[in-house]
Amino acid sequence: MIIATVEINQWEKLSAANTGGLTLSIGDFAVINTEYGEEAGKIVELKEVGEEEAKAVSNSVERLAKTDDWEALLKNRQDKDKVIQDCRETVKRYDLEMKIVDAHFSLDGQRLSFAFIADGRIDFRELVKELSRTFNRVIRLQQIGVRDEAKLVGDVGSCGLGQCCRSHLKKLGNVSSDFAEDQQIVHRGAERLSGICGRLKCCLAYEESYYQDLIAKLPALGTKVKTKHGRGAVVGWHVLRCSVDVELDKERDQDKAVIVEVPITKD
């Protein structure tokens, strides 16, 4: 069975089984059936799974999107800005610590989803009831992360180019402070290492594998080594230069430690 991952908006993807045996390709726009009604979006991944895994997928691909589907999507989105503003005003009345950043209409118009960010858990049960009465639709609230918000509303990164998350970068996150340590740029400070989302820049992950390969060739800190200057212990790395700082063993008449930079030989 082929399972399609369908991106229905910038913050939500749904898996759908190709139960009808349709000819699908990545990049196609498809209509899928969900428990909440019809949705439409772009196919971003296709994978073949076993029977048991396929049974766990409740959504199914109904058809490739047609002109009528595009017209329905455009019609649903006409009042999107007003809907978001009305929702924000309702949130303010309920005095909830949450920020509404986007709205999404299902293809059939029966469901209205709002994306929001918040520092913690929010009890929005009364809010959902109010929104259901206001918009006369099934309401769903989806909490997203600050990286997702930047992808939605951001523009230009500190490099002067468009944000990667708004163009080619499809998987966000998984950026660790260890990356900055490996690349020896921690000294630049949090402000220079953070994107407009306030988190570590995703581009720190681009060259991490290269740095890991270089680090694997360097002796661990504290390792005793022999150099042309004498024996000593490794006390620092220069990853890109493929060299290490070695603190030479003190001589009897020596008052201060001597540290020399030594390149790592290929052998």
Taking residues 181-210, report their average pLDDT.
Answer: 88
Q: Is the pLDDT at 25 greater than 80, yes or no? A: yes
In contact, 44 and 28? CB cutoff 8 Å: no
Q: Is the pLDDT at 266 greater than 70, yes or no? A: no
Tell me the pairing of strands 29-34 and 60-64.
Answer: antiparallel
In contact, 154 and 202? CB cutoff 8 Å: no
Q: pLDDT value at position 69?
A: 92
Q: Is the pLDDT at 267 greater than 60, yes or no? A: no
Structure tokens at 35: 């428990």
CB neighbour list of residue 28: distance below 8 Å, 6 or more residues apart: 42, 43, 64, 65
Structure tokens at 29: 């726009």
> Residue 62, Cβ neighbours under 10 Å: how many?
18
Q: pLDDT value at position 218?
A: 92
Q: pLDDT value at position 114?
A: 96
The Cα–Cα gap between 147 and 175 comes to: 11
Boundaries of every domain in the chain: 2-65, 76-144, 148-211, 224-263
Amino acid at site 264: I
Nearest Cα to Cα of residue 62 among 110, 11, 14, 103? 14
- Residue 172: pLDDT band by 50, 70, 90 thresholds? low
Q: pLDDT value at position 219?
A: 93
Q: pLDDT value at position 39?
A: 94
The Cα–Cα gap between 163 and 157 comes to: 5
Fold entry, domain 76-144: GMP Synthetase; Chain A, domain 3 (3.30.300)
The Cα–Cα gap between 153 and 165 comes to: 11
Model's pTM, two decimal places? 0.72
210: left (phi over 0), alpha (psi -120 to 50) or beta: alpha
The Cα–Cα gap between 134 and 243 comes to: 66
Structure tokens at 124: 């929005």
Q: Is the pLDDT at 153 greater than 60, yes or no? A: yes
Q: Is the pLDDT at 198 greater than 90, yes or no? A: no
Taking residues 85-102, report their average pLDDT.
Answer: 95
pLDDT-wise least confident of 75-89, 139-153, 229-243: 139-153
- Residue 221: pLDDT band by 50, 70, 90 thresholds? very high
- SS3 of residue 88 by DSSP: helix
The Cα–Cα gap between 40 and 13 comes to: 11
Tell me the pairing of strands 138-143 and 111-117.
Answer: parallel
